[in-house]
Amino acid sequence: MKPFSILYRSAMPVTVLVSGLMLSASALAIDTTTAVKRTLESSPELQLYPYHVRALEGESLQAGLKPNPTLGVSLENVMGTGDSRVLAGHELTLSLSQVLELGGKRERRVDVVDRKSAILQREYEVTRLDVVSSMLRDYYAALRLQQLLDWNRQRINTEQAALKVIEQRARAGVVGEADRMRMQLRLEKSQAKQQTLAAEHEQSLRTLASSWLQEPDFNAVEGDMTALPDLPNKASLEQAVLETPDYLLVTAQSRINEARLALAEAERTANVTVGAGIRRFEANDDLALVFNFSMPLQLNDRNQGNIAAAQAEYQGKLAQQELLKSKLSVALTRISAAMQNNIAQEKRLTQKLKPVARSLLKEVERGYKLGIYNVLQWVDAQDELYTIERDIIEAQHAVQLQFLELERLSGMSLVNDATQSATDKE
């Protein structure tokens, strides 16, 4: 089986055991491809982004608008004495003026909105990865419970077989009733445990389906946690630090603060207003062209506070970017080390301890039938094997979750080509 990644969505093969029975054609199982598709289509967190996109489109439109021209009307010398008596010598002026934005203000406003669009895209990518990885954690939780159901079913079968042997020896008078009662008690505890695991598995399926706001229309998940992913190499992790969605988001935020700083600096340049019009002199019935020009006197920099604030925010984002880079590097290294330890633990349990525990159980079972060992020794041998098998399942589950977290943080598929080529041949 190919290791699953957030970005590499091949379906897992059907190798799951449900309640101790092999998954049959009648079982309704869901695979990772379907689960990811449903989550992306129906996740509440992702449904809000189209509205944010529309809002940014409006901001972009607004940022690119130029100031409208101004129509001016003035009436002078309306009331007075002599030649300036009521409307006798008035002057009527019609003018049209336009504010000219200097310093590239409009381009800077558009640039700020463009940077916001980049941030929105990064935020969507981060949320998308978080949503999918959260769903996959629930997916692996259900898969873990399915393997525990099979593990416990095998334990029940072993204890039932052991109980029959003890009952036969008890009827023959070789062992006492206490041996039978001890094994019967263990069997009933295992059966109770099976019911608890079945209830937890059912709840895990509901939790999984809640990722797309539905009730489960399946009773199992497909997959095999025994196919462990390869540990990413150091070079891949070092490259992943600079490609992590969280790091790219902070980088985009630093760029928008850079654009805001440029806008604040552009706004220190004063705009000018120019205009032209026609003036009518009522006294002699003449017309004349008039022109006007105005601009504020920049005696003081009225935008120095905004520039200082924008500069501080920009520098703060740069510092946050470096801090996040260090934190991500530490996190990826720590998770990789923990994953390596769990892979080694799973390998040691599977290849060394489990075969020894199986041989021990067979030997004690044989010896019990011959009267060499007592029931307590048989029970202890069973517990050794069951504990090792449970530890193997937990180690496999931990490796899958750690690999999933590495891919969530990096936003990259860490499934290497060598692994894929090898599994394709299987």
pLDDT in tens, 220-270: 999 888 888 887 777 777 776 666 666 566 665 666 565 556 656 666 566
- Which residues make Cβ contacts (< 8 Å) with residue 339, sequence separation at least 6? 231, 398, 399, 402, 403, 406
Give the model's pLDDT for residue 383. 92
Q: Which residue has the tokens 């990096």?
A: 410
DSSP H helices, 172-233, are 177-209
The neighbouring-strand residues paired with 93 are 74, 279
Give the model's pLDDT for residue 351. 93
Which DSSP symbol is given to 92? E
Proportion of the chain above pLDDT 90, given as a percent: 27
303, 270 Cβ separation under 8 angstroms = no
Helices (H) and strands (E) in the chain, counts: 11, 8
Angle between helices 105-171 and 49-63 (to 10 degrees): 170
Assign 24 a pLDDT band (cuts: 50, 70, 90): very low
Residue with the larger pLDDT of the pair 44 and 401: 401
User: What is 95-150 written as a DSSP string?
Assistant: EEEEEE--SSHHHHHHHHHHHHHHHHHHHHHHHHHHHHHHHHHHHHHHHHHHHHHH
Judged by DSSP in three states, 27 sits in coil
Counted residue by residue, the chain has a size of 426
Assign 425 a pLDDT band (cuts: 50, 70, 90): very low
Task: Give, for 68, the enclosing helix (H) or strand (E).
Answer: none
- Which residues make Cβ contacts (< 8 Å) with residue 147, sequence separation at least 6? 16, 17, 225, 393, 396
1, 224 Cβ separation under 8 angstroms = yes
Closest CA to 295 of 276, 271, 318: 271
Between the CA of residue 318 and those of 147, 208, 256, what are the distances in Å? 47, 39, 11
Q: Give dist(CA 407, CA 410) in Å, integer.
A: 5
Between the CA of residue 67 and those of 101, 106, 269, what are the distances in Å? 8, 10, 16
Count of beta carbons in the 10 Å neighbourhood of residue 300? 7
pTM equals: 0.71
197, 148 Cβ separation under 8 angstroms = yes
The pLDDT tens digits of the residues spanning 297-348 come to 666 666 667 667 767 776 776 676 677 677 777 777 888 888 889 999 999 9
The pLDDT tens digits of the residues spanning 68-91 come to 888 888 777 666 555 555 555 667
